[in-house]
Structure formats: structure tokens, C-alpha cells
Structure 1
Amino acid sequence: MADPKDMYQCQVHNCGYVYDPDKGEPKTNTPPGIMFKDLPYDWKCPFCGSSAKTFRPLAGPESVLVEGS
């Protein structure tokens, strides 16, 4: 499993999908090993269809936990 700072979660209400670079995403034809920052500019959440701009890291300086502090 990837480090939480490398995993990103969709912040759209009622979604919460987590992108794990170690797993990739078959629904979007994203192979394992692709870091979130390296996803194509038009990549969308495989569950709710929102853009990558709605995602936040699970840990680290830009994470939701830090924003809420």
C-alpha cells in the first residue's frame, strides 16, 4: 500500500474515492505506479466523474486534516 501522502481522496460530497498509486485504476485505464500528480490533465474520478482538482492528499501539508486545523 502506498504512503498516505501519495494517496488522494475525492472531496465531492458522498464520494470519498481514494486513488492509490500502488493499485492504479482499472476503470480509467490507469496502470499501477502512476502518481496522482502524473495523471493526465483530463483524468476524472471513476465513481463521481469529478476532476482531479477535487482531490486532496490523505496526509501531508495539503491534506484535509491540515486544512481543518
Structure 2
Amino acid sequence: MGNAVARNRIKRVVREYFRLHQYDFELPLDIVVVPKRNLEAKQLTLALAKEEFTPLLTRIRTEAASS
């Protein structure tokens, strides 16, 4: 990740993704996000975050529903 500028960009994009999708969760949930080491902060966009997180959140929802 590198310097503070890169870390802050990653945090902003991840927070924005979860802000936009906060109502997709029916359960109280704590989620910890650890960025990949080879992640380029300049290339991280909201679209890329959506591509990465949406399948995971769908999986979480289906597993929570089956419990």
C-alpha cells in the first residue's frame, strides 16, 4: 500500500462502497477489510470495489439466510 495518501484513498473507496450498500445487510455485521498487498491505490475505483465486494456480500447473505 505504501504512503498515507494511498492508504487514505483505499479507505475512502471502501467506505463509500459500504455506505452505498449499507441497506443490503439485514443482520448486524462487523466486517474487516484487509487490502491486497499488490493493490495499486491509483487503480482502485468504486467499480473495482463493487466487483470485488459484491460476490462476497452475496455469499454472506445466503449463508446467513441458511443458518
- The reply to whether TM is greater than 0.5 is no
Q: Which has a greater percent of strand?
A: 1
TM-score normalised by structure 1 residue count: 0.29
Greater C-alpha Rg: 2
Higher relative contact order (CA 8 A, sep 6+): 2
Q: Which has a greater percent of helix?
A: 2
TM-score normalised by structure 2 residue count: 0.29
